[in-house]
Amino acid sequence: MAASHSFKLLFFLFLLHSLHIITVTTTMLCHDHERSALLHFKQSLPASSSSSAYSKTASWKASGNSSRDCCSWDGIECDEATGYVIGLDLSSSLTNATLHSNSTLFSLVHLQNLNLAENNFMNSLIPPEISLLSSLSFINLSNSLFSGQIPQELSGMSKLASLDLSNNYLYGDFPIAIFNLPGLLVLNVSGNQNLRGYLPEFNKTSLFRELNIAFTEFSGTIPFSIGNLNSLTKLQLIKCHFSGSIPASIGNMTELNFLSLAYNMFNKSDDLSWVQKLTKLTVLDLAKTNLYGDLQPSFANLTQLTILSLGNNSFVGEIPLWLRNMTQLMYLDLGYNELTGQIPRSFSQLKNLEFLSLSQNNFTGTVEADIFLSSRNLAFLDLSGCQITSNSPHHSNFSLPKLELLVLCFCNLTEFPYFLQFASNLRALFLEKNNIHGNIPHWICNKSLRYIDIGNNMLQGNLPNPPPKTYSYVVGNNRITGEISPMICGVKSLKVLDLSSNNMGGPIPHCLADSLEAFFLQNNNFSGTIPQTYPKECDLKLMDMSQNQLTGEVPKSLSNCKMLQILDLSKNQLKQSFPTWLGTLPRLQVLLLHFNMLHGEIGSPRSPLEFPLLRIINLSHNALTGALPVNIQFWNVMKVVRTGTRPYMDTDLYFTVILDHFHFTYDYHRYSSMTVTNKGAEREYNKISNIFTAIDLSSNKFTGQVPESLGSLKALQLLDLSNNDLTGSIPPSLGNLTQLESLDLSRNKLSGVIPQQLAAQLNFLSFFNVSHNHLTGRIPQGTQFSTFDNNSYIGNSGLCGFPVSKNCGALQSPPDDNEDGSEEDKFPSGFDWLFILLGLGSGLVVGFVVGDISMDRHPWLIRRIVRKFGRTQKKPRMRRRQIIRA
C-alpha cells in the first residue's frame, strides 16, 4: 500500500511539474523584442488607421490584460514551440501609411507569412529590406497602392512559395530571376499596367502551380518551353503585349483548369489542335487572339468548361453542333466574329447558361427570341447586330426570370420586345440604334433599371422620368419633345444624362448640377441659364450643352468641379468676358466656347499653372479683343509629342455596369465626341484621337502680332487664327510645329514674307491658308507646299511664284562702277535668296537674310558686298535692296 501511495504521489508531482511547464510556455509565447517591434510598427501608422475600430492593429496595446502576449493580437500568428511571430495578416485593415525602409516590421526575421493586401500604402516603394525576412514563404501586397520598381532583392528569397503583388502601381522591369526561385508555386503581378517584362525559358523541374501576369506590359513571345510547366493549373496572360505564335506545347500542361491568353498580339492562326488535350479546363479565354477558321471539333473534348470566350476573332462558318454537349457552360462569348448561318435552337439545351454574347457576326435570317426564353438562368444576353423576331403572343408572360442585362443594338427592332415588361430582375437595357417608334413605355420607369440606353431610335412624345435608382439615362438622337420634368430631381443616383439631338426645350432643372458626372444636352432648344450651383465635392467630368439657346454666363461654381475634362458650351448666347478662372481646373482637356458673345480681352495668366492639361480650345466666332493670350506658352501638354497607348480620348467616363453576376464595361462613344473646324470645314469627330491638339481663335477682334511663343507648342496639330486684326510678320518659329496638319492665318493684316521654315519643316501640313493679308515675296517651296493651290494665297498682291500667276521675275544685280564684270563677280547659279538688308556707314555689314546659299562656298560674295556698299567715307545711311530670282 505504501509503495502504491508513493507512486501516486510521484505521479501527481509529475503532473504538476508538467502543467507548470505548459503554463510557463504559454505565458512566454511572445518575445519582448518582437512585441516591441510590432508596437513601434503600429506607431508608424497614422492615428486614423491604427486606432480605427475596424483596424486589426486596434487590439495591439502596450498595457492591459492581453498586452504582454502579442500572439493573441489580431492578425498575429506565432510558432507554438518557439513563440516567434511567424505570421502577420493586416489585410483589409484600413491602413493608410507609408512603409519606410527602417520600419521595425523588417526585424521580425522569423516571419513566414506576410499579408498586407487591401490597404493604402500611399504609393510607397516596396523597401529592399523586405529581403531581411529570409524565412518568408508567402507574401501578399496586392491592392495596397504600392508603386515603383519591384526590388531585385526578392529574387534572392529562396524560401518564397507564393508572391502576390497584383493591382498596384509597379513599373519598370520585372526581375527575371524571380521566375527561377526553386520553390515558387504562385506568382501574381497582374494589374500593374506599367510593369514590363518577358517570360524566360522554363525547365522541367519548375513547381509552378499558378502564373498570372495579366494586364501588364509583358511582351515578347511565349517560349515553347512553357509546356514544361506540367503542374500548372492556372495561366493568365490576358491584356499583355505578347506576339508571335501561341505555342502548341501548352497542350502538355494537362493539369490546367484556367487558361486566358486573350487580348494579345499573336500571329494569325487556325491550328488549335492542342486544345483537345486540356480536358480539365473549366475556363478558356482566347478572345482577340487573332484566331480564324472554323470552330474546330478540338473544342468538343472540353466538356468541363464553364467559361468559353472566343470573341473578337475571325472565326467563320456556322455555330457547331458540339456546343450543345457543353452542358456545364455558364459563360459563352462568340461575339465579334464572322460566323454565318442561323443561330440554332440548340442553345435552349444549355440550361446552365448565364452569359451569352453572339453580337456582331454575319448571321442570316432572323433570330427567334423564344429560343432564349426557356433559359431560366440567363442573366446576360447580347444579340446586337442580329435580326430579332418574337413568336410569342403579346399576352404571354413567359420571360427570362433572371435576366439582368439585355443588349439588342443594331437589331432593326421597330418596337420594344414585349417580354421585357415581365423581366422583373432587369437592371440594364441597351436598345441603341434600332428603328423603335412611338412613345417610351411607362413600364420602363416602373422597373429597377439602373442603366438605360434607348438612344438613336425614332422615339417621340414627352420624356418620362427614369426609375429612382437609375445611374445612366441615354435617350439621345430621337424625336423627344417637351421639357425636362423637375421630378427628375428625385433620381438622386443619376450620373449620366444624355438627351442630345432631340426637340426638347424649356429650362434645365438646376438640381442636375448636384450629382451628374456627364451632361449631354446638346442640339436641342433649351433656354434660360446653365445650372448655377455646383457642390464643393462636384463629380462632373463632362458637360456638353452646345447648340441650344442658353443665356447668361458660365457659372463660377464650376470651379468646384476639379474632375471636369471636357466643357462644350458652344453655339449658345452666352454674353460675358472670357472666364479666366477656368484655368484653375486641373483636368480640363477640351474647352469649346465658340459661337457665343464673349467680349473683352483674355488678359495675362494669373499663374503659369493655368490650363495644365488643355489640349483643345475653340474660342472662335466671338468678339474677343486685345492681344492673343500670352498664357499660350504655358499650355505644356501641347509642347510634348505623344503617341498614346489609347487610340481615343481618355475621359475616364467609360462606366462599368455592376450587376449581381457580371461587370460589363460599356464603351459609350459620345463621351468623346466634339465638333471642330479642321482644314477649313466644320466636322463632327465622334471619336477624338487621344493625342489630338488644336487652337482655334478665329473670327474675333484680336490685334497685335502672332506670338513667337506659339512655336513652343510642338504637339499642335491645328492652328486657326484667321479673320482677326493681327499685324506684323509670320513668326519663323511656327516652323517648329512639326506635327501641324492645318494652319489658317487668312483674313488678317499680316505683312512680310512667308518663312521658308514652314515649307522646310511642316511635313504633315495638309491645309494652309494665308489669303487676304499683306504678304510679299516668293512663296516658299516644299513637299507639302507644292500641294496648295491659289486659294491659299489670294488677296496678297505682293506674293509671287507657284502657284499664283505672278512671276517673280529674273534675278538681277546692279552694275558696279569699280568692277569689270569678271566671272568672279557674277552671282552663283541657283542663288535662291529673298532679300539682303545692309547697314551702310562705318564700313560694316549689319545683317543679311538669305535662302539656301552657303557663304563658305562663295566668300567672294561677301567681299563684293563689302566693296560695293561698305565705303567708310560716305555719309552713313540705311539702304535696302530686294533681289529676286525667277
Which pTM was predicted?
A: 0.78
Residue 280 has a pLDDT of: 96
Across 840-860, b (16+ Cβ under 10 Å) vs e yields: bbeeeeeebeeeebeeeeeee
Residue 245 pLDDT more than 50?
yes
Coil vs helix vs strand at 420: helix
Residue 649 pLDDT more than 70?
no
Residue 872 has a pLDDT of: 37
Mean pLDDT of all residues in 539-565: 95
Residue 636 has a pLDDT of: 80
Residue 647 pLDDT more than 80?
no
Return the sign of the alpha-carbon dihedral for residues 436, 443, 659, 355: negative
Number of helices (H), then strands (E), in the chain: 6, 57
DSSP codes, 726-793: EESPPPGGGGG-TT--EEE--SS--EEPPPHHHHHH-TT--EEE--SSEEEEEPP--TTGGG--GGGT
Residue 835 pairs in a beta bridge with: 849
What is the band of 198 on the pLDDT scale with cuts at 50, 70, 90? very high
In whole angstroms, give the CA distance from residue 755 to residue 735. 8
Coil vs helix vs strand at 673: coil
In whole angstroms, give the CA distance from residue 187 to residue 142. 12
CATH of the structural domain 34-176, one choice from 3.80.10.10, 3.40.50.12780, 3.30.420.40, 1.25.40.10: 3.80.10.10
Residue 253: CB atoms within 10 A of its CB come to: 22
The closest of 363, 377, 382 to 309, measured between CA atoms, is: 382
570, burial (CB in 10 Å: exposed 0-12, middle 13-18, buried 19+):
buried
Give CA 365 to chain center in angstroms. 38
DSSP codes, 455-510: -SSEEEE--PPPPTT-SEEE--SSEE-S---GGGGG-TT--EEE--SS--EEPPPG
Residue 772 pLDDT more than 50?
yes
Residue 810 has a pLDDT of: 53
What is the band of 510 on the pLDDT scale with cuts at 50, 70, 90? very high
Report pLDDT digits (tens) over 708-734: 989 999 999 999 999 999 999 999 999
Residue 368 has a pLDDT of: 79
User: Per the omega criterion (within 30 degrees of 0), is the bond before 803 cis?
Assistant: yes
What is the band of 640 on the pLDDT scale with cuts at 50, 70, 90? confident
In whole angstroms, give the CA distance from residue 621 to residue 638. 23
Report pLDDT digits (tens) over 54-87: 678 888 887 766 677 889 899 999 999 999 999 9
Summary mean pLDDT of the chain: 83
Mean pLDDT of all residues in 93-118: 92
Report pLDDT digits (tens) over 410-429: 999 999 988 888 888 999 99
Residue 797 pLDDT more than 60?
yes
What is the band of 818 on the pLDDT scale with cuts at 50, 70, 90? very low
Residue 666 has a pLDDT of: 53
Which range, 217-226, 664-673, 868-877, has the best average confidence (pLDDT)?
Answer: 217-226
Give CA 68 to chain center in angstroms. 51
Q: Residue length, the chain? A: 886
Domain spanning 365-488: CATH superfamily: Ribonuclease Inhibitor (3.80.10.10)
> Which of these ranges, 170-179, 540-549, 674-683, 869-878, has the smallest mean pLDDT?
869-878
Report pLDDT digits (tens) over 518-542: 999 999 999 999 999 999 989 999 9
Residue 643 has a pLDDT of: 61
Residue 650 has a pLDDT of: 45
Residue 47 pLDDT more than 90?
no
Q: Parse the chain into domains and list their residue ranges.
A: 34-176, 198-352, 365-488, 507-655+669-774, 823-881
Residue 582 has a pLDDT of: 94
Q: Residues 254, 256, 257, 258: what is their CA dihedral angle, to the nearest 10 degrees?
A: -150
**Which class is 507-655+669-774 in CATH?**
alpha beta
Q: Is the fold of 34-176 the same as that of 507-655+669-774?
A: yes
For 81, residues 6+ apart whose C-beta sits below 8 A from its C-beta are none
Q: Are 194 and 171 in contact (CB under 8 A)?
A: yes
Report pLDDT digits (tens) over 278-294: 999 999 999 999 999 99
Coil vs helix vs strand at 56: helix
Residue 844 pLDDT more than 90?
no
Percent of the chain with pLDDT over 70: 79
What is the band of 221 on the pLDDT scale with cuts at 50, 70, 90? very high
Residue 66 has a pLDDT of: 61
Residue 652 pLDDT more than 60?
no
Residue 590: CB atoms within 10 A of its CB come to: 25
The continuous run of DSSP H or E covering 387 comes out as strand 387-389
In whole angstroms, give the CA distance from residue 116 to residue 167. 13
Report pLDDT digits (tens) over 365-417: 888 777 887 778 899 999 999 988 765 555 455 567 889 999 999 999 999 98
Q: Are 316 and 339 in contact (CB under 8 A)?
A: yes
- Residue 155 has, within 13 A of its CA and on its CB side, a CA count of 10
Residue 684 pLDDT more than 50?
no
Across 327-351, b (16+ Cβ under 10 Å) vs e yields: eebbbbbbbbbebeeebeeebeebe
Residue 12 has a pLDDT of: 53
CATH of the structural domain 198-352, one choice from 3.90.1150.10, 2.40.110.10, 3.40.50.920, 3.80.10.10: 3.80.10.10
Q: Are 188 and 215 in contact (CB under 8 A)?
A: no
What is the band of 865 on the pLDDT scale with cuts at 50, 70, 90? very low
Report pLDDT digits (tens) over 434-493: 999 999 998 898 899 999 999 999 999 999 999 999 999 999 999 999 999 999 999 999
Cα Rg, the chain, nearest whole Å: 37
